[in-house]
């Protein structure tokens, strides 16, 4: 019931999940990676991919490739917060170099995550258009 409502909310992505099960290994890997990057809910995608013919290896490999940017951003944000917490707990401040490096690093991480997400949305639209042609 809940799965049906989510799939109705995103009919194009739901159709793409069904089409992903019909392709070869590379097509399935690419579809899984792109759907992991896009803002499609993970739990819905997990249920939907089980209902289709997405093979296990492209599913796992695509999931790993599609979530690496989020993992990197979460780890980097945690390290940034840790350095701020350590500096605060010691009653000191970050040096100018630390502030610059942390600011530049976080900006690069956030910008690359945004760029990857935009690329994934465009690539997903392109794949959907290709699948609609056939």
Distance (Å, rounded) from C-alpha 40 to C-alpha 67? 12
Q: Give the range of the structural domain holding residue 108, as residue numbers without chain letter.
A: 2-133
Q: Do 106 and 80 touch, CB atoms closer than 8 A?
A: yes
> What global pTM score does this model have?
0.65
Distance (Å, rounded) from C-alpha 60 to C-alpha 128? 22
Task: State how many domains the chain has.
Answer: 1
pLDDT in tens, 37-92: 777 777 777 777 777 778 889 889 988 988 887 888 888 888 888 888 888 887 77
């Amino acid at each position: 019931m809940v799965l049906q409502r989510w799939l109705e909310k995103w009919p194009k992505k739901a159709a793409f999940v069904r089409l992903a099960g019909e392709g070869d290994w590379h097509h399935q890997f690419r579809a899984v990676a792109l759907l992991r990057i896009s803002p499609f809910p993970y739990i819905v995608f997990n249920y939907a991919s089980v209902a289709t013919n997405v093979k296990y290896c492209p599913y796992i490999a695509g999931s790993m490739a599609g979530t690496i940017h989020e993992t990197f951003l979460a780890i980097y944000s945690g390290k940034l917060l840790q350095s701020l917490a350590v500096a605060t707990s010691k009653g000191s401040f970050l040096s100018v170099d630390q502030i610059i490096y942390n600011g530049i690093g976080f900006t690069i991480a956030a910008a690359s995550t945004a760029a990857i997400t935009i690329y994934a949305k465009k690539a997903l639209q392109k794949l959907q258009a290709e699948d609609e042609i056939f």
